[in-house]
Structure 1
Amino acid sequence: MVTFIIRRVLQTIVVILLVTVLVFSIMHLMPGDPVLMFLGPDASVEQIDHYKKQFGLDLPLPVQYFKWAGNLFKGEFGDSLVYRQDIGPLILAKLKVTLTIAIPAFVIAVTIGMFLGIMAAIYRGRWADSFITVLANIGMATPTFWLSILCVYIFSLTLGWLPVQGFTFPSEDFALAVRRMVLPVSMLALGPMAVFARQTRSAMLEIIRQDFIRTGRSKGLGERRVIYVHALRNALIPVVTVMGMQLGYMLGGSVLIEQVFVIPGMGSMLITAILNKDYQLVQSAVLVIAGGISLCNLLVDIAYGYIDPRIRIS
């Protein structure tokens, strides 16, 4: 198992290194001068040269990359051209906001989605299966940003039950934080919940037809033990794969949710940085997101080994 984990860790490091090269190259290939955008069209040549030298933009591209990558190994992300502050604490503050929304949404999506998928598989062909399948299809097909705006109009503007926008940490005001998180967390969890329901149903239907499930029932094992211990564990491989993908989506793809509900998270910061061509901030933020997604995939690979011993042996 140790060899299996080490191999996956090395692959993850290679992926992250390739991401740094790709992000750096794309950002510098984009048209426009970040210093000129920051200073405005009336900036003098002396001012432009001063800020380019200050942020290291006057150096050759290979030198800029290795300087940036070398600073990353020291834990230094550099300074943001837009926010005019150290990028490390800035990303940490924004990441806390995004995780405060993403983690509850992920837990809700996994719990409810898997439960609905199991129920649909158990009652295959009945009204419960049809109802859950229709709900899952609607959840996957409905655009999140449209549904978010619709929910704001109904529950915030019309009924006045929930705040329109904003974010508050639970440690500051728990009641207000919960009221502000209801809509964004629900909207962020909706799509992944539908995906988990469909994937769990599909995996469970394939497993419960196997001979060992019939053998367990014939030996007198309870239905709950057969379903939740034997069948569910063998059906977890494809479901865990989807979990890793959806958690990565929630960490890096919550831009629309943050824009609709005016949440100052990673997505909003990244949009601002891209529009202003803040090289250092975009590169560092994308690297953090890529690292988070790679970590999710690594945990999924390790989970494979624990769920199915044949994988780690191979």
Structure 2
Amino acid sequence: MALGLPSRLPATPAIGELVRGGAPTFSFEFFPPKTPEGERLLWRAIRELESLRPSFVSITYGAGGTTRDTTVAVTERVATETTLLPMAHLTAVNHSVAELRNVIGRLAGAGIRNVLAVRGDPPGDPMGEWVEHPSGLRYAEDLVRLVKEAGDFSVGVAAFPYKHPRSADVETDTAHFVRKCQSGADFAITQMFFDADDYLRLRDRVVAAGGDTPIVPGVMPVTRMATIERSSQLSGAPFPPALLARFEAVAGDEASVRELGIETCADMCARLLAEGVPGIHFITLNRSTATREVWQLLAPSDVAAAA
């Protein structure tokens, strides 16, 4: 059932079409700021990375919908004040269907065509019990259908190279992912990972299960040991032991940790591009420097293709 929104949104590129276009995409992820200083850092990073001409950028959605209004506002500002193609994240946590329809309507009204639909984590404790809103949605696939019914949106979903932390096993997780994609998803972006083989195994098992949705790897360079300590929470997977040993060998030198993180991320991206991934999605944490350095270490041909 349509929601009374325009059947055709303005002629904005669809990310689902971009990632199927042959050449790999190159994109960045930002999160909505909560303070004036955070807003300053965000827009400085956006302006600095804009010169790299990414295929698109995404704006995340706080746990429990805590940054809903800011997400919409930032995404709209990116759409109207920059040359960048924005994608808004949307989660179902703590939202009724009516509230979700309102957010979707606001996005459509701002001319935003691209949405990443995720069920989302409970506020306060990402690993806490997930409680469905009494007038809300239970699964990400339901959210995908809601967005697709609302108009001509290109909708992405989340993928987990290791497996979703709440999935019983890899097989169950794969089946759920394929079903989620078949509900109407045009593309997927992975949670961050630190071993290319984790992504490649995900891709192989999805294909074996009958899935054909393009899966864009989401990556983030390690610039501090604290990132490794939080890696299980951030990615749902333990940090690769062999890579951990390399970081532990230089743990007392912050500059060396950062240098190793940039180098290993660039190496992983180069391998992924050689394996034919549809693109690379960088989680920036609203900083531009590390992403720029990884970009510069990639082979010129890879960078040109991704630009």
TM-score norm. by structure 1 comes to 0.23
Greater relative CO, 1 or 2 (CA 8 Å, sep 6+): 1
Question: Which is strand-richer, 1 or 2?
Answer: 2
**Looking at CA atoms only, which structure, 1 or 2, has the larger radius of gyration?**
1
